[in-house]
Amino acid sequence: MALPEKVVLFRHAEKMTGKNPHLTDKGVKRAKHLAAMLAPYKPTSLFSTRYNRTQQTMAPLAEHTKLAVLPYNPRELPAFAETLRNLSGTIVVAGHSNTTPELIALLSGHVTHISETEFDKVFVLTPTKTPNTLHWQLDRLSSN
């Protein structure tokens, strides 16, 4: 069974209002900062929902790494978590205030929270495996 080296998860950056909003100027700035912050992790896979705000948050990192951003369905998180568990390398996932904590819980059992006004939390899950146990260490970073 393959295991990722790390899974980095975050909520999209600051957004405008509306049904499928784009990022605000502040959100675009945060997305660029995230790209600079996460590039040293040497991502091997990038995932995002199909919404404008998550795609635009991931775009600077995709441009930097020359990786395609692969879509995932936020309504099918258990299946997506299983997909992530079977990948290798460092995986970066852009999500939402409700889906990112749920995905973290599905992968690791860790309970986290992101409020509707928080855009700076970045979570890094690192799996460690012993013969009988798989443990996921959770580290919290800030994109401020």
CATH number at residue 46: 3.40.50.1240
> What is the tally of structural domains in the chain?
1
Residue type, 111: V
Helix, strand, coil shares of the chain as percentages rounded to 5?
A: 35, 25, 40
| Residue 1 is assigned to a structural domain of this protein | no
Residue 85 falls inside a structural domain: yes
- Residue at 31 is within a domain: yes
What are 66-124's pLDDT values in tens digits? Answer: 999 999 999 999 999 999 999 999 999 999 999 999 999 999 999 999 999 999 999 99
pLDDT bin (cut points 50, 70, 90) of residue 7 is very high
Evaluate whether residue 119 is within a structural domain: yes
